[in-house]
Amino acid sequence: MHNPYVSVVIPIFNEEENILILWERLSRVLHENFPNPDRGWEVVFTDDGSRDGSLEMLRAIAEEEPRVSVVEFNRNYGQHSAIFGAFSIVAGEVIVTLDADLQNPPEEIPKLVAKIDEGFDVVGGWRQGRMHNDSLFRTLPSKIVNAVTRKTTGVALNDYGCMLRAYRREIVDAMLQCKERSSFIPALANSFAKRITEVPVAHSERAAGESKYGIWKLINLQFDLLTGFSLLPLQMLSVLGVVIALLGFLLFIGLVVYRFLHPEGTAQGVFTLFAILFFFVGAQFVAFGLLGEYIGRIYQEVRDRPRFVVKRIHKQL
Ligand code: UDP
Ligand code: MG
């Protein structure tokens, strides 16, 4: 059998309502656009510890279609780990990632692959008409994520959150060499890519089931980005410290001068000190929190646990 040209990677966590229709649309697109075995395709699903019938459905597909593989995780490790799990076995030259909930139409895949053929290393999807389809609760955090990512990575993309993306083989190989635990794939990919572009892609409502991202997972993702790709928070901390120290010193001078001018007014001074004290205590807690975030991550990296455990790979021989 030839090596595939396009590898499609799909993380799956409790998506039983979507899998059949997803596979139907995806396989039609792949058969139509990549019929030539010299430029063939494969699909790698990762079952990220689903508790519904997803795994059985995926295995049934893999039993029928030799170009489909299923990476089974022993429990839920999160979307980005699931994508990494699939990355570790893909064979194609172009790797396309896709969400399973049909928010990313499989019909857009040829468009992304064409861009890679033009010579780009990374092609991101830029979701059009998103505001109509997703709730504010979901789009507002994404907007913040985008803005911060743009700042910290220095690559100005419009849509970092879209997981409909295509990567050249070398980029995926480089990402696989990263040993860190918490990684945000689009930002990580950009740090290895030379030519990056975006193409507008359609975006629809989640076909069935619920979003697997709660507010905590989103906050966690934001911290991954902030600490994973820049030392900005630490640097801000020092700047903040200097500013606060200066202010404190100036206030101290001011209070001394005041004391000389009005030797009888003491009570006011006590309240001023209280205000300053609270200010410092607050600032310290912010500082501790941020330092703790870094230390926690260092701790995790030092333990060097495997990012995930693959139980089995289901594939026809
Ligand atoms: N997903 C996963 N593991 C998780 C959470 C999500 O593999 O812990 C998969 C999920 O099945 C879907 C994709 O990641 O294919 C995106 O998830 P979702 O649609 O819930 O995210 P949203 O569109 O709300 O950002
Ligand atoms: Mg979704």
Least confident interval from 90-94, 159-163, 226-230: 226-230
State how far the alpha carbon of 42 is from the alpha carbons of 5, 62, 248, 272, 307, in Å: 8, 11, 63, 69, 24
Q: What angle do CA 150, 155, 159 make, to 5 degrees?
A: 60
- Res 266: pLDDT: 61
Look at residue 27 and tell me whether its pLDDT is greater than 90: yes
What SS3 class is residue 2? Answer: coil
Q: Tell me, in angstroms, the distance from the centre of ligand 1 to residue 12's CA.
A: 7
- Res 213: pLDDT: 83
DSSP string, 14-71: S-HHHHHHHHHHHHHHHHHH--SGGG-EEEEEEE-S-SSSHHHHHHHHHHH-TTEEEE
Closest protein CA for atom 2 of ligand 1: 79
Q: Tell me, in angstroms, the distance from the centre of ligand 1 to residue 252's CA.
A: 54
- Res 281: pLDDT: 79
pLDDT tier at 46 (50, 70, 90 boundaries)?
very high
**Structure confidence by residue, pLDDT tens digits, 133-161:** 667 777 777 777 777 777 766 677 788 78
Q: Tell me, in angstroms, the distance from the centre of ligand 1 to residue 134's CA.
A: 14
Closest protein CA for atom 23 of ligand 1: 211
Closest protein CA for atom 22 of ligand 1: 211
Which residues form ligand 1's pocket by a CB distance below 6 Å? 11-13, 15, 48, 76, 78-79, 82, 99-101, 103, 206, 211-213
Identify which ligand lies nearest to the alpha carbon of 145.
Answer: 1
Closest CA to 143 of 154, 131, 152, 133: 131
Which phi and psi angles does 68 have, rounded to 5°?
Answer: -110, 135
Give the β-pairing of 165-168 and 94-97.
Answer: antiparallel
- Res 54: pLDDT: 96
Q: What gap in Å lies between CA 285 and CA 275, rounded to an integer?
A: 16
CB 251 within 8 A of CB 276: yes
- Res 152: pLDDT: 67
Look at residue 77 and tell me whether its pLDDT is greater than 70: yes
pLDDT tier at 104 (50, 70, 90 boundaries)?
very high
Q: Tell me, in angstroms, the distance from the centre of ligand 2 to residue 76's CA.
A: 17
Look at residue 267 and tell me whether its pLDDT is greater than 60: no
pLDDT tier at 275 (50, 70, 90 boundaries)?
confident
Q: Is the dihedral of CA 253, 258, 260, 261 positive or negative?
A: positive
Q: Tell me, in angstroms, the distance from the centre of ligand 2 to residue 181's CA.
A: 23
* Two tokens, residue 76: 């839920």
Closest protein CA for atom 17 of ligand 1: 212
- Res 287: pLDDT: 83
Atom of ligand 1 nearest to the CA of 138: 24
- Res 92: pLDDT: 95
Identify which ligand lies nearest to the alpha carbon of 142.
Answer: 1
- Res 153: pLDDT: 66
- Res 1: pLDDT: 61
- Res 120: pLDDT: 94
**25-34 contacts, C-beta under 8 A, 24 or more apart:** 25/102, 25/105, 25/106, 25/107, 26/98, 26/106, 26/109, 27/65, 29/106, 29/107, 29/109, 29/110, 30/6, 30/109, 33/109, 33/110, 33/113, 34/5, 34/6
Mean pLDDT value across residues 193-211? 88
- Res 64: pLDDT: 96
- Res 15: pLDDT: 95
- Res 317: pLDDT: 79
Least confident interval from 41-45, 68-72, 201-205: 201-205
Q: What is the H or E stretch that residue 123 is in?
A: strand 122-127
Alpha carbons within 13 angstroms on the beta-carbon side of residue 7 total 24
Highest mean pLDDT of the ranges 42-51, 232-241, 260-269: 42-51
